[in-house]
């Protein structure tokens, strides 16, 4: 990579980083291109050299903001070498870390919670690559959860009467509903919300032979 190419990559990354921070803190609709370039400290022509429009910027912001987080969610169950309950708990925990993920990775001081939901919805509605990725992510996560449930049934941790496919879809719905609920109410303790949701899920699918309980030892074993 030449010096010029390196500078170009750095400039684009700077625009994306500041755009993400502003969108999260202020909301997508409140951040104009003029306001953004002022914050970045570049001429408008430089912005349009890297992004043809605000739509393209939004598409790349969503990719940089959400895709790594989504991939981490897919990966977590494989990294927890424990029982099916621990693997499911790990997925719930990962979802509950969205707030700390945004603050730690994008230097966000405060979060406009509704803007996160809005950005995702806009991406799904208007940008085909985002739509395709979200669909693929949801399908992969459902398959992952279904596999964990089937594993739990074989080990008598989960009731054999549970419909694994349906329960996997229901679990995804529960995870996404909690994110929306959190996005609409900033007073909600997101970690507590997901912990409660997991309790209800597990109590509905656990085997009558299972004596597993949700305690601090399991939570700590799966913590990261």
**What's residue 210's pLDDT?**
54
Domains, in order of start, for the chain:
60-221 (1.10.357.10)
Cα–Cα distance, 12 to 22 (Å, whole number): 15
- 171 burial (CB, 10 Å; 0-12 / 13-18 / 19+) is buried
Mean per-residue pLDDT pooled into runs of 10, the chain (224 residues): 55 92 84 94 94 88 87 87 91 90 81 73 77 92 96 95 97 93 84 95 86 46 40
**What's residue 162's pLDDT?**
96
Angle between helices 98-106 and 3-26 (to 10 degrees): 140
Cα–Cα distance, 186 to 169 (Å, whole number): 26
**What's residue 8's pLDDT?**
62
- Going by C-alpha positions, the residue among 205, 202, 180, 174 that lies closest to residue 89 is 202
**What's residue 51's pLDDT?**
94
**What's residue 157's pLDDT?**
95
């Amino acid at each position: 990579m030449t010096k010029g190419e390196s500078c170009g990559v750095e400039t684009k990354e700077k625009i994306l980083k500041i755009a993400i921070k502003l969108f999260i803190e202020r909301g997508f609709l409140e951040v104009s291109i003029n306001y953004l370039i002022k914050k970045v400290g570049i001429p408008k022509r430089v912005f349009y050299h890297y992004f043809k429009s605000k739509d393209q910027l939004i598409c790349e912001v969503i990719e940089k903001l959400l895709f790594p987080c989504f991939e981490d969610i897919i990966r977590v169950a494989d990294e927890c070498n424990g029982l099916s309950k621990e693997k499911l708990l790990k997925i719930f925990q990962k979802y509950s870390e969205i707030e700390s993920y945004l603050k730690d990775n994008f230097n966000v001081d405060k979060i406009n919670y509704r803007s996160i939901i809005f950005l995702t919805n806009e991406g799904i509605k208007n940008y085909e690559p985002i739509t395709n990725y979200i669909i693929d992510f949801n399908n992969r996560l459902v398959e992952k959860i279904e596999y964990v449930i089937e594993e739990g049934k074989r080990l008598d941790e989960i009731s054999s009467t549970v419909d694994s496919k349906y329960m996997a879809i229901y679990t995804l719905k529960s995870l996404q509903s909690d994110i929306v609920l959190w996005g609409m109410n900033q007073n909600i303790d997101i970690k507590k919300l997901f912990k409660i949701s997991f309790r209800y899920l597990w109590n509905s699918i656990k085997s009558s032979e299972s004596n597993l309980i949700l305690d601090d030892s399991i939570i700590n074993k799966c913590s990261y």
